[in-house]
Amino acid sequence: MNPRRLIIPLMLSLQLWGLQAAATSVLPISLQRMAGTAAVIFHGRVTGNEVRQDPASGQIVTVTEFEVLEAVKGNPGKTYRIKQIGGQLPGSMRRLVIHGVPVFSVDEEYVVFLPNASSLGFASPIGLSQGKFNVLRQNGKAMVSRGRAPAAVLNTQQPALPEVPSALETVPAGTDLGEFLQTVRGMAGE
């Protein structure tokens, strides 16, 4: 068998595999800096996610729609949509994974810190996952968390650069949602 017949498909497969995922690296951002630089901050519930091929960029994108429960900064309206790069096209094996880009689950609540959308309409949370705070309800009380149950967050130490504390370090696990939003409003100057 001719070795070229094996090498060319193998090289093509490796090139295509490399397009499936990209790594990202983001430095820790303080809650105060996120609040100050965000164009829009709101507490909302996800009502839908749609993955599609974006006509403006040609990339696979996920469009997430939120029902805005409380505006904190800016004027998000009653509903707000964000378009982020990545996702898996329905009924297809085509997907694009960008590590660090946050995923939002339908019917879940979040506090989201967003910049203005780019010229192509993209707007991931500030600091990627750092700008996404989960809202959990325990015993009828709404609390802010970083995606895990508050007890799990308390028992986890997160590495960070010493000179810039990340929002994770400055927001205690199980922080009352109302207190958190009031603090953010103060930092945002709203």
Q: Residue 13 and residue 18: Cα distance in Å, rounded?
A: 9
pLDDT over 50 at 181, yes or no: yes
pLDDT over 60 at 70, yes or no: yes
The pLDDT of residue 138 is 86
pLDDT over 80 at 186, yes or no: yes
Residues 6+ apart with CB under 8 A from 105: 46
Mean pLDDT, residues 3-16: 44
What is the tens place of the pLDDT at every residue in 45-57?
999 999 999 998 9
Domains, the chain, ordered by start: 23-188 (2.40.50)
Q: The pTM is what?
A: 0.75
pLDDT over 90 at 190, yes or no: no
pLDDT over 80 at 116, yes or no: yes
Mean pLDDT, residues 74-81: 96
Residues 6+ apart with CB under 8 A from 128: 24, 26, 100, 101, 102
Look over the chain and give the mean of its residue pLDDT values, rounded to a whole number. Answer: 79
